[in-house]
Structure 1
Amino acid sequence: MTLLPLVLLAAPLQAAPAPLPQATCPAIDADLPAPLKGWSTTGTGMAMDRAFLLPAPNGEASANFTIAKGGRYRVALDQAGWIDLVQGGKPLTSAGHGHGPSCTTIRKIVDFDLTPGAYTLKLTKIAKQQAKVMLVAPAQNE
């Protein structure tokens, strides 16, 4: 039986990589991208390109709106939850979804391809008593 030298059997130990530094935000919602600038102007009642507050008792909220020009609209939300748009009683299929930009209170964004007409925004599985929401027009998305 041949014994190998201990040096050949021992693998060099490597230190675990240092954790990446956490991103720090000098200010929350201070440097919003142009299409989302209206997020910092909160009102009541649904308006295009401006955030608004919806009461969400029992984890649900809804608002009706009408658009005159078709295109890809975005719905931004301040918390985890489901974002649906309904037209004529039928839920629409989203065209995409993602998270809000870093250093903002936008937690979720869902895109929808809309044609002119009336819609209902439905939020479900909302944890807070109210939801901050914003509808972004297509011209702002480009």
Structure 2
Amino acid sequence: MNFAMAAKPSGCAAFKWPVDRERALLSAADPTELASGAELPAPPATAIALSLRPGADAALPTPPERASAPDRFAGFVRIRQVEKAGLYTIALASGGWVDAVQNGHLLKPAEFSGATDCEGLRKLVRYRLAAGDLTLQFSGVGANAIRFAIVPAD
């Protein structure tokens, strides 16, 4: 038996940091439902179910960092005011990519973590955000909607 393989975490334990808060948000029954291009005054305290468009029709404000296959979906949401600068976690319930855009520039992720076998949570991406306007762009998604949450990192 290979003990290195046996000791490797799986499921939700495979993430680099605890994910209970993000999983609870993403699995809640009442997400905020939005269409791509919607605008919010501030990051919501609930998960968001964002309807997406075919990638070629998504009209993302900024070209995404990663190109995606033509049969994938994309979309975006604007958040008018991130109140406090700091490290934020974007949690995705399914596969895809998220770009954070501030002042017209793509931000580089500070950290990311993923697991394919954690029910209700697929990926976490952390960005260091400035206070002010934020656009979150989603691309490379295999379905016409994605559920996500944005929370300050602990």
TM-score with structure 2 length normalisation?
Answer: 0.64
Q: How does 1:124-135 map to 2 (within 5 A)?
A: 124-135=139-150
Q: 1:104 to 1:88 in 2, by over 3 A?
A: same
Which residue is 2:32 aligned to?
43
Q: 2:86·2:129 contact (CA, 8 Å) conserved in 1?
A: yes
Q: 2:92·2:122 contact (CA, 8 Å) conserved in 1?
A: yes
More strand by share: 2
Q: 1:57 to 1:98 in 2, by over 3 A?
A: same
Larger radius of gyration, structure 1 or 2?
1
Q: 1:71·1:115 contact (CA, 8 Å) conserved in 2?
A: yes
In structure 1, stretches of 5+ residues that fail to align are 1-15, 26-31
Which residue is 2:65 aligned to?
none
Structure 2: distance between partners of 1:35 and 1:82: 17
Structure 1: distance between partners of 2:128 and 2:122: 21
Q: 2:11·2:115 contact (CA, 8 Å) conserved in 1?
A: no
Q: Which amino acid aligns with 1:132?
A: R
Task: Give the Å deviation of 1:110.
Answer: 0.3
Q: Which amino acid aligns with 2:149?
A: M
Residue 105 of structure 1 aligns to a residue whose secondary structure is coil
In structure 2, stretches of 5+ residues that fail to align are 13-18, 35-39, 55-72
Q: Work out the number of aligned pairs and report it.
A: 117
